Structure 1
Amino acid sequence: MVEDQRLLRVAVSLILERHSDIWIIGESDLCKDAARAIVRKRPAVVLMDVELPDGSGITLTEFLRRKLPEIRILMFTSDFSRETLIAAARAGADGYCLKNAPPGVLVEAIRTVAKGENWLDPRLGNDFRCLVGKRDNRRREKA
């Protein structure tokens, strides 16, 4: 989990620890530390904040997509702007969940992304699905 707000990290951890199929194997509040830990631990899913004290979760997503194309990245943010949504999709995010989502929605988002599917907070519309679908098609064409 890459999130700069400690209280939110604790709250999310408490929510997720109730689910036997989801484990938190690391937490970070900085891009630099997160990048090292993710490359070393290779989690199945990264829960990624957009804005961090030392950089952008979107930039970190681009780096991780190049370095570890197999991992899944779920953006976790309070930013619901179209620009950020598009930037996240173009960076390679596999899902986009708003921080004010009910706990069950976050769990559903993580499970969906972990299965290799894309996920979009239902309140955001279809913009992300369209962009992610195009990105996934480009991946298949390169393979």
Structure 2
Amino acid sequence: MNDKPSIRVFCVDDHPLLREGISTIIRNQPDMEIVSEAPSGRDAIQRFRELRPDVTLMDLRLPDISGIDALIAIRAEFPDARVIMLTTFEGDVEVQRALEAGARGYMLKSMPPKDLVDAIRQVHAGKKRIPPEIAARLAEHFSDETLSEREIEVLRHVAGGNRNREIAERLFISEETVKVHVKHIMEKLGASDRTQAVAIAVRRGIMHL
């Protein structure tokens, strides 16, 4: 008989079907229990305060605030919080942001159930868990130059189909400055044109459409 207390798991996701699926997986484990579910970031912060779960599974994309923002808020109050980010995206920039914010794991929603429960046990034991394919993506872009906030802002306008003159008017800068920003963006992303720059930025999680 196992006298160890169960790992208390908290699931945060805005999709009821996914929450139910994860909860079912957790309930089928002899050493785990699901203590609560939350559909949004703000709910997650409040319920974490009330429940103090052992491991939290946090969706990256939530309807009110991002999973990373919720993680930052939780860890500001509870520095020892163990949070695993769940996502359908492999973008290296989002992974890096989550890890810098204190995530102990970063898992894809396409993973087999066994990988999820293994990750929960590892994180509960004080270890970190990042799948090999995500670690490889991080290593691939480790030395890349990051885009500045202004460059990301310009790129969002490019993605919106705006020409340089329109971007300049909206950002209250000169058209020549916009051209310089676009040139730097393409160089940093290794893009051959504006469309490819947008595609690369979205794939890597630098911005979202």
**TMscore range, shorter length:** 0.7 to 0.9
* Cα displacement (A) at 1:122: 2.5
1:66 matched residue in structure 2: 76
CA distance in 1 between partners of 2:49 and 2:119 (Å): 22
Matched residue type, 2:20: V
| 1:1-143 map, 5 Å | 1-125=11-135, 127=138
Matched residue type, 1:12: I
Larger Rg: 2
User: TM-score scaled to structure 1, two decimals?
Assistant: 0.86
CA distance in 1 between partners of 2:80 and 2:31 (Å): 19
* Cα displacement (A) at 1:116: 0.6
| Aligned residues: CA RMSD | 1.5
Matched residue type, 1:50: L
* Structure 2 residue matching 1:117: 3-state secondary structure: coil
Identity %: 36
For structure 2, which runs of at least 5 residues remain unmatched after alignment? 1-10, 143-209
Deviates more, 1:47-56 or 1:117-126: 117-126
Structure with larger RCO (C-alpha < 8 A, sep 6+): 1
CA distance in 2 between partners of 1:95 and 1:109 (Å): 7
**Total equivalences in the alignment:** 129
Query: After superposition, what is the alpha-carbon deviation per residue over 1:32-53, rounded to whole angstroms, capped at 9, x for unaligned?
Result: 1111000111001110000101
Superposed structure 1 runs of 4+ greater than 3 Å apart? none
Deviates more, 1:54-63 or 1:118-127: 118-127
* Cα displacement (A) at 1:31: 1.1
CA distance in 2 between partners of 1:106 and 1:39 (Å): 24
1:135 matched residue in structure 2: none
CA distance in 1 between partners of 2:34 and 2:87 (Å): 18
User: TM-score scaled to structure 2, two decimals?
Assistant: 0.59
CA distance in 1 between partners of 2:135 and 2:128 (Å): 13
Query: After superposition, what is the alpha-carbon deviation per residue over 1:14-41, rounded to whole angstroms, capped at 9, x for unaligned?
Result: 1111102111101001111111000111
